[in-house]
């Protein structure tokens, strides 16, 4: 991602939260042939925030997840922001 894309991601509306790993804010989900999640990590610690784009994959039960630092984060475990 370019610096401009990262700044746009930081300033965009949060659609879901995940409380593990110092906080993850999901900003956007892109649907297509391959689905992607755009998120910002390190949001609850107040320290180093970083922007990420990650492919959404599905396990054999059909649950959607994405990887963060080698760990699976299921979208069903994220809290939707209303």
The model's pLDDT over 12-67, given as tens digits with 9 standing for 90+, comes to 999 999 988 888 999 999 999 999 999 998 887 766 888 899 999 999 999 999 99
Tell me, what's the pLDDT at 42?
82
Tell me, what's the pLDDT at 50?
86
Decide: helix, strand or coil at residue 37: strand
Count of beta carbons in the 10 Å neighbourhood of residue 34 = 9
Say what the pTM is. 0.87
d(C-alpha 45, C-alpha 38), whole Å:
19
Decide: helix, strand or coil at residue 64: strand
Tell me, what's the pLDDT at 56?
96
Q: Phi/psi zone of residue 19: left (φ > 0), alpha (ψ -120 to 50 degrees), beta? A: alpha
d(C-alpha 19, C-alpha 44), whole Å:
8
């Amino acid at each position: 991602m370019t610096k401009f894309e990262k700044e746009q991601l930081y300033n965009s509306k949060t659609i879901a939260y995940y409380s593990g790993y110092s906080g993850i804010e999901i900003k956007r989900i892109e649907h297509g042939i391959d689905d992607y999640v755009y998120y910002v990590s390190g949001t609850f610690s107040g320290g180093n925030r970083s922007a990420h784009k990650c492919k959404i994959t599905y396990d054999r039960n059909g649950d959607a997840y994405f990887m963060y630092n080698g760990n699976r984060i299921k979208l069903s475990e994220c809290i939707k922001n209303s």
